[in-house]
Structure 1
């Protein structure tokens, strides 16, 4: 299964891509700051994994608890 997962609800943004037993990870500043960095970070991590969005089987995001802005950022992607 090819999976993209991310969480921006806390002060640390976490992104992971899994393809079977292989895993790629990225972390950065979360919360309100993640709104400008989340999509470029996802694109970079997918490129590193050699995957495109259409190849993913599932996308998961953290739904809290956490900051309202951070939750909205993740949900909107």
Structure 2
């Protein structure tokens, strides 16, 4: 049986980050969309420290090229958590 893949936008901090980690701990395939590239490096380290499997992707939902890239990902569930400051 295939695990569901979940894309979480706005996963660099706060609720998005927490839900990404929790879902990965529960065994889901998680793609964490992170707007700021510097957050990707910090999250990569935390993912390694917690021995989790989370796919980290730079994803700015306001950028048409990033949205087009994300449309190609095979996801089952989308958690739209990104916000605009």
Instruction: Report the TM range for the smaller structure's normalisation.
Output: 0.3 to 0.5
Q: TM-score, normalised by structure 2?
A: 0.31
TM-score scaled by length of structure 1: 0.33
Which protein has the bigger strand share?
1
